[in-house]
Structure 1
Amino acid sequence: MNDIITAIILGIVEGLTEFLPVSSTGHLILATELMGYDAQKWAIFNIAIQPGAILAIVVLYWRTFMDVLKGLFSLEAGAIAFTRNLLLAFFPAVILGLTFGDAIELMLENAILVCWSLIIGGFAILVVEKYAKPKESGGIAAMPAKKSAMIGLIQCLAMIPGVSRSGATILGAMAMGVDRKTAAEFSFFLALPTLTGATILQMFKHRSEITTDDLSLIGIGFVVSFIVAIIVVKGFLAVITRYGFAPFAWYRIAAGAAGLIWLTVI
């Protein structure tokens, strides 16, 4: 298949799945396996296009970021608490990512692991949806520091491909009583330092392997994932407000089962 078409397809997959609790990394790995792409060739690409989806959050929530920046300069308590909570949730991923980076990269080659993670994660979502008692939390700035740090630890589960970073953080927050909207937005904002840091680390680590052609393809995937993510994020909040996370849970279970059948039988 033409490399440009492949870049567009993977960009669409990234934009569709990055902020949904279905695992963007898992879907990119499965897309690579199921469609016959060279997994090693596209591994760095899959990581490098993540900032495209991140930029969508910056564009959609630019007023929030501007308010926080202005608040930090004027030492407003709300802006300081907002930033503190994001940093506390970000640090566990930094520590584990730097410590176990090589082991994490090896897991990215395991499509079977992705399928099982999708299935198990789907059932986990159904359990949290049934038994969690989320309450109006007053927004990200009002969350206790301890709760933010715990969400950061839960986010680290997403280092296992197929778990879903957004799913882990959103459902972890809900299990601790955070309402759906705040949990989702906290996951969106936490993606900025987490995914940006992961992308910079991997790009630097593999800098000698990246060619000019690779950069062109990454640029295409970046733009495509940005456009698709803007559309998806807007619809995502509307879906979870009305239907909760159960539709995503059943999708994960079905996708994981279908992936297992494809990889082991066909």
Structure 2
Amino acid sequence: MTDTLAAILLGILEGLTEFLPVSSTGHLILATELLGFDQREWEVFNIAIQPAAILAIVVLYWRTFWDVAKGLFGLDKGALAFVRNLLVAFFPAVLLGLAFGDVIETMLGNAVLVCWTLIIGGFAILAVERWANPPAEGAGVAGVPLRTSVLVGLVQCLAMIPGVSRSGATILGAMAFGVDRKTAAEFSFFLAVPTLSGATVYQLAKYGADLSARDFELIGIGSAVGFVTALVVVKLFVTIITRIGFAPFAWYRIVIGAAGLAWLTLR
């Protein structure tokens, strides 16, 4: 397989899984393992294409971001609460990422760990679906209490373990703390902007000097494909969770994790 085709496939996988509660990082790790790629060679690529998914969120929710930006200039309480909630939820990941960055990078090559966290995370989703009782509607991200935003930020830190899923942790965590499904999903989408941007900037600052022109070309290809894919997936995802819930994603995680363990054991 050519590296161009590999970049396209991984870009599609990133766009498909970044905002679903199935772990995009876990899927990219398993994909590189399945395809026989060197994990270290594609590690920076897998992180560097994440801004494409961020751009998809900005495009899909441009009006929200525009309204918040205008509101900040007018010191609108809703806009200030929106930004406050995202910042306090983002801050724990910054601290933990800086403190344990090397440990986290070591785990990124562990496909067995990914499989186990996919399975455990699947059962966790089923548990939250069964016992959490969020309201049918909420007041949006700006209406989420400060304490809840902090708790969501702490839960997001679990996603530093590959296979946990950042979107899954934040969405299900928010629901467990009493946030309605739609707001929980949008909180996760918006929180991805500073979180994934920060992770990408950190990785490129650390390894960017070692990347070749071809590496940046592949990152561009993967990013373009991931952006288009994410545009389609996000809207569909919101429709699915509001009508059906998260159980299909939970069972998917369990099946993929179990299949991955079997393959890694028998290969």
Distance 2:60 2:139 in 1: 20
Q: CA RMSD in A?
A: 0.5
TM-score of the superposition, structure 1-length normalised?
A: 0.99
Distance 1:131 1:190 in 2: 25
Alignment match, 2:128:
128
Distance 2:126 2:201 in 1: 34
Distance 2:69 2:11 in 1: 30
String of CA shifts for 1:209-240, please: whole Å, max 9, x gaps. Answer: 21110000000001000000000001001110
Secondary structure, in 3 states, of the residue corresponding to 2:84?
helix
Distance 1:12 1:264 in 2: 27
User: 138-147 or 19-28, which moves further after superposition?
Assistant: 138-147
Amino acid paired to 2:119: I
Distance 1:235 1:207 in 2: 34
Distance 2:192 2:38 in 1: 27
Amino acid paired to 1:177: G
Amino acid paired to 1:152: G
Asked if residue 78 in structure 1 is aligned to residue 93 in structure 2, the reply is no
- Long gaps (5+) in structure 2: none
- Measure how far apart 1:140 and its partner are: 0.7
- Long gaps (5+) in structure 1: none
Alignment match, 1:226:
227
Alignment match, 1:204:
205
Distance 1:211 1:120 in 2: 38
Distance 1:264 1:238 in 2: 37
Alignment match, 2:246:
245
Count of aligned positions = 266
- Measure how far apart 1:242 and its partner are: 1.0
Amino acid paired to 2:152: I
- Measure how far apart 1:137 and its partner are: 2.5
Structure 1 segments, 4+ long, off by >2 Å, are none
String of CA shifts for 1:137-188, please: whole Å, max 9, x gaps. Answer: 3111011111101100000000000000000000000001111000000000
- Measure how far apart 1:207 and its partner are: 1.9
Asked if residue 58 in structure 1 is aligned to residue 38 in structure 2, the reply is no
